[in-house]
Amino acid sequence: MQIHQVEHFVAAADHGGVRHAAEALGLTQQAVSRSVAALERELGLTLFERLGHGVALTSAGRIFLGSARRIVREARIEPSLDSGLLEIATWGPLATHPTATLLARLHREQPTMRSRIEQAADEESVCRLVRAGHCDIGTVLLPSLWLHDLTAIPLGHLKEWLILPPGTRIDPGPVTWSAVAEHDLVVPSAGTSISFVGQELAGTGVELKLGVRSAHREAQVSLVLAGAGAALVTQRYAEMAQARGAVIRELDLRFARQIGIVHRRDGRSPLVERFTELAVAQRPPR
């Protein structure tokens, strides 16, 4: 197996076809096709299903893609940071902070680096993408049930707000889970931090009331404004809701989850090291 064959396979997977991969690599379509075909023969696997408009990964191709990305990354590791590629998996409330916040800082520091953000459905998917080698780093909420052999680094608490319908009477100041439990909650149908609450609150006597489930996180604000219930959201959505008349209260940080980043224990690139350093440096003091 030659490294250029693996690179051509990854390019074809990322660009959805041999033609676009060849254009991105500056090669002929025939050269990339031959390279991928030779890799398939050597592995004894069919990596792509040939379609009229391009290619699609087979199940074997999807499984091999994570290893292929890792092979390419490790072959390209250099002492300098600015020539590398950093791939980050994130989900829901963590896409903006800390993911985009930290990545923007790293790009300002290393302007010629490249990056890719993979939007996952939930924390389990984030950990799976990192573990399989599809991504270098993941951003999750801690504690997480899916860490297993990944290294986790806590970065501070996720600041969440309880948003309530206009006119709701509630005491001022940060709210506890007991206060949250007084209201029916509007939650996303997947990927929500509510998913951990049953385990977190076990034995406390507090039981949350899950009301409306929505496939769209943005719809939470509209549902709350219409009186369907309350919702736990991040700052951006809280400000949006408040501007439209909702009552908002910050969740007491003593009861909030930790934000964290996860990475594999082996093969850490210079960019992973630097991203981790920036993440740790921005942690709030204890």
133-158 pLDDT per residue, tens? 888 899 998 877 788 889 999 998 88
- Name the phi and psi angles at 46, rounded to 5: -95, 110
* Domain of 148, in residue numbers: 85-157+258-281
In a domain, 286, yes or no: no
Pairing between β-strand 161-164 and β-strand 247-250 as defined by DSSP bridges: antiparallel
H helices of 118-161, where? 123-131
The distance in angstroms from the start CA to the end CA of the chain is 50
Q: How many domains does the chain have?
A: 3
pLDDT higher than 70, residue 102 = yes
Same domain, 72 and 9: yes
242-281 pLDDT per residue, tens? 999 999 999 887 777 788 999 988 767 788 889 999 999 8
Cα 257 to Cα 148: distance, rounded to the nearest angstrom? 19
Confidence of residue 286 (pLDDT cuts 50, 70, 90): low
pLDDT higher than 70, residue 192 = no
CATH of the domain at 203: 3.40.190.10
- Of 7-11, 54-58, 148-152, 181-185, the one with minimum mean pLDDT is 54-58
Whether the full predicted model's pTM is greater than 0.85, yes or no, is: no
